[in-house]
């Protein structure tokens, strides 16, 4: 009966050991913000982001009358939004998310982006770019027809003159940029309220406006403005609904995460109890039996983690072959995937591999050493 119990406990511990070691690796390595930050920085993710942005900009079909080149747009983006700014904001978001994930249930998540520095740079770069373009303009060869717009109309304008002219049509770049908040919370529905602000009298008059449109009481150009306001309002409401849905989903993720962490801690507690029970059962039969069965235990529970660690390289190769990479994606991105998989494999399987090696060595040492321990002397019964 004692041998059967030992074998049963060993089987249970053999199953639990690799699972708990893998979960421990994921919890202490992969799910830590330090790991994610190091991966993003080490693999130059922030630089690659701007490479992808450049590719997207180069694919834009610019109108011939627009006095901007793809290179100038890319330069404006690079000077305004730098990799350093992106890294600072991403790491801040990761820290905020980690704090929220480990906070009590019910606390709202907050994802804040700081736009103060890009705003200042954008204002300066727009001024520089506009000033250069104004100097390149030549006077119009003929006067524009009424209602016709030509860039040559601004030939001879100073930067201040141009801004004043644009301000008449509510298109002053300074005013537009200054409308961007210094920082905003992407999870705050109030941030998206600007999408719902139209030129109408409010939601209570929506039906009245529709009736006026249908009865042709307002001019065609006013109908277009009202329709645009209504479409903008609906787009804003859709975004707010999507944000609310995402926050609800994140709350569910948080619930599952906290449940998983609690279950994980309980599993390790149960594992420890079973291991102590195994040792206690064999400790009563003398040192030889204790060392022998402990060696058997260590050897058997160490083999599986060791096999997982050794075989993880094969698993990575299979994963790389199974990933379908779009040919249009930058080569930097495609070259990045094997590196990320390697780092992920090392973060998850290094602990099981090391523990497996240690357990196998200790197990073999216990089995071999048990043969050198003399059997306990049998007690002689006195007649």
Domain membership of residue 74 (yes or no) is: no
Give the least confident one: 6-20, 169-183, 265-279, 342-356.
Answer: 169-183
User: Span 121-137, mean pLDDT?
Assistant: 87
Quote the CA–CA distance of 318 and 345 in Å, as a whole number.
13
Number of domains in the chain: 1
* pLDDT tens figures, 279-310: 888 887 788 888 998 999 999 999 999 998 88
Residue 210 falls within a domain, yes or no? no
- Asked if pLDDT for residue 56 goes beyond 80, the answer is yes
Tell me the pLDDT of the chain averaged across its residues: 81
Quote the pLDDT of residue 336. Answer: 82
Q: 185 — phi, psi (to 5°)?
A: -95, 115
Residue 339 covered by a domain? yes
280 in a domain, yes or no?
no
Tell me the percentage of the chain whose pLDDT exceeds 90: 23
Q: Is residue 334 part of a domain?
A: yes
Confidence of residue 236 (pLDDT cuts 50, 70, 90): low
Predicted pLDDT at 204? 44
Q: Is residue 341 part of a domain?
A: yes
Residue 64: pLDDT above 70? yes
Write down the pLDDT at residue 323. 73
Query: In angstroms, rounded to a whole number, what is the distance separating the alpha carbons of residues 256 and 253?
Result: 5
User: In terms of residue numbers, what domain contains 347?
Assistant: 1-31+285-376
Look up tokens 């009966």; give the residue.
Answer: 1
Alpha carbon distances (Å) from 13 to 5, 28, 297, 301, 354: 12, 21, 8, 7, 18
Most confident among 5-9, 226-230, 376-380 (mean pLDDT): 5-9
The maximal CA–CA distance of the chain, rounded, in angstroms, is: 134
Question: Is residue 104 in a domain?
Answer: no
Within 13 Å, how many C-alpha atoms sit on residue 248's CB side? Answer: 6
Give first-to-last CA distance, the chain, whole Å: 30
Q: Is the pLDDT of residue 87 over 90?
A: yes
> Is 2 contained in some domain?
yes
The confidence band for 198, taking pLDDT boundaries of 50, 70 and 90, is very low
């Amino acid at each position: 009966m004692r041998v059967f119990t030992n074998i049963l406990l060993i089987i249970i511990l053999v199953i639990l050991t690799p699972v708990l070691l893998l979960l421990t690796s994921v919890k202490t390595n992969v799910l830590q913000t330090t790991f994610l930050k190091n991966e993003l920085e080490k693999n130059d993710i922030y630089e690659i982001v701007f490479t992808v942005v450049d590719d997207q900009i180069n694919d834009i079909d610019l109108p011939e009358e627009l006095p901007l080149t793809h290179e100038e747009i890319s330069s404006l983006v690079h000077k305004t939004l730098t990799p350093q700014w992106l890294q600072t904001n991403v790491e801040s978001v990761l820290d905020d998310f980690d704090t929220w994930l480990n906070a009590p249930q019910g606390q709202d998540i907050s994802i804040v982006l700081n736009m103060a520095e890009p705003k200042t740079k954008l204002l300066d770069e727009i001024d520089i770019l506009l000033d250069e373009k104004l100097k390149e303009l030549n006077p119009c060869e003929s006067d524009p027809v009424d209602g016709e717009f030509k860039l040559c109309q601004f030939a001879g304008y100073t930067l201040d003159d141009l801004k004043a002219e644009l301000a008449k049509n509510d298109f002053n770049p300074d005013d537009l940029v200054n409308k961007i908040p210094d920082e905003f919370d992407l999870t705050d529905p109030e941030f998206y309220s600007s999408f719902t602000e139209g030129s109408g009298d409010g939601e209570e008059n929506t039906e009245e406006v529709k009736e006026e449109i249908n009865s042709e009481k307002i001019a065609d150009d006013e109908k277009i403005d009202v329709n645009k306001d209504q479409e903008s309002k609906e787009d804003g409401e859709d975004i707010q609904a999507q944000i609310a849905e995402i926050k609800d989903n994140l709350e569910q993720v948080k619930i599952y995460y906290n449940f998983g962490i609690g279950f994980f801690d309980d599993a390790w507690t149960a594992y420890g109890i079973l291991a102590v029970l195994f040792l206690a059962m064999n400790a009563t039969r003398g040192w030889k039996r204790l060392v022998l069965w402990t060696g058997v235990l260590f050897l058997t529970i160490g083999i599986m983690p060791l096999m997982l660690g050794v075989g993880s390289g094969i698993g990575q190769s299979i994963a790389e072959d199974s990933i379908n990479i779009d040919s249009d994606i930058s080569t930097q991105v495609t070259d990045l995937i094997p590196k990320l998989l390697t780092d992920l494999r090392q973060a998850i399987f290094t602990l099981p591999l090391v523990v497996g090696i240690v357990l196998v060595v200790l197990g073999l040492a216990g089995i071999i050493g048990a043969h050198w321990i003399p059997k306990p002397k049998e007690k002689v019964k006195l007649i």
